[in-house]
């Protein structure tokens, strides 16, 4: 989809038609050439747009790719009235989207690029902040329902959930079933602290006896 000659740049503020054409071109280049073959030059040629226009609206290749990624992203953010179900539903939708579309490959490449490119790392950090806010909203709703303690750090919970998701993306384990996802969410929500029925002193004494038998 090329730019119509009648479309004009309107400065730093994006012209919606022109921006859509550039994003269409960027998506097409990504599909055809992959991440390694993606370039602003290729997008400009395909969209029949000037490179200065693209760089005015997207200051880097990474910024453009993140917009392409967000445009492709179709992930549910459930509001079931139960935080565990909300988070499990979110992870199921996210894993499915990463697994069944090119988005997983795009995001994996961007995370990898961020390790050696400060510009990509900055864009990733800003993107992550916005996305974690959506997960944090689930936690805030649970607070309002009295489902979790009022002093729970919603951002930290979002980080823990995202860490689990990113680990599975980067290690290509996006086929995790609902049982696995629910167990992971359960660990986050319930913690791994013992329920008090176990005496820590007795556990330590037992360990000392075992060590004594091994070394004696």
* Cα 180 to Cα 112: distance, rounded to the nearest angstrom: 26
Mean pLDDT of 39-44: 95
pTM for the full predicted model: 0.76
What CATH code is assigned to 1-58?
A: 1.10.10.60
Q: What percent of the chain has pLDDT over 90?
A: 56
| Predicted confidence (pLDDT) at residue 95 exceeds the cutoff of 80 | yes
CATH topology of domain 71-190: Tetracycline Repressor; domain 2 (1.10.357)
Fold agreement (1-58, 71-190): no
The domains of the chain are located at: 1-58, 71-190
> What is the mean predicted confidence (pLDDT) over 74-93?
95
Q: What are phi and psi of 165, to 5 degrees?
A: -65, -45
Per-residue tokens: 34: 């992959």
Q: What is the pLDDT of residue 192?
A: 60
pLDDT tens per residue, range 165-186: 999 999 999 999 999 999 999 9
CA 67 distance to own-chain centroid: 13
Question: Residues 18-27: pLDDT tens digits?
Answer: 899 999 999 9
Distance, CA of 39 to chain centre: 23
């Amino acid at each position: 989809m090329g730019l119509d000659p009648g479309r004009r740049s309107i400065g730093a503020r994006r012209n919606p038609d022109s921006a859509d054409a550039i994003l269409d071109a960027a998506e097409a280049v990504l599909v055809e050439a992959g991440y390694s073959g993606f370039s602003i030059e290729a997008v400009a040629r395909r969209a029949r747009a000037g490179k200065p226009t693209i760089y005015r609206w997207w200051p880097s290749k990474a910024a453009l790719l993140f917009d392409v990624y967000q445009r492709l992203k179709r992930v549910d953010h459930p509001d079931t009235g139960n935080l565990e179900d909300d988070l499990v539903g979110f992870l199921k939708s996210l894993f499915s989207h990463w697994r069944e579309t090119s988005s997983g490959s795009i995001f994996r490449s961007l995370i990898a690029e961020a390790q050696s490119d400060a510009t990509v790392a900055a864009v990733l950090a800003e993107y992550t902040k916005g996305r974690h806010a959506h997960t944090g909203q689930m936690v805030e709703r649970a607070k309002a329902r009295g489902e979790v303690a009022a002093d729970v750090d919603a951002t930290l919970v979002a980080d823990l959930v995202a860490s689990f998701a990113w680990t599975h993306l980067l290690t290509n384990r996006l086929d995790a079933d609902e049982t696995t996802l629910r167990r992971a969410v359960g660990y986050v929500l319930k913690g791994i602290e013992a329920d008090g029925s176990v005496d820590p002193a007795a556990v330590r004494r037992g360990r000392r006896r075992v060590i004594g038998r091994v070394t004696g």
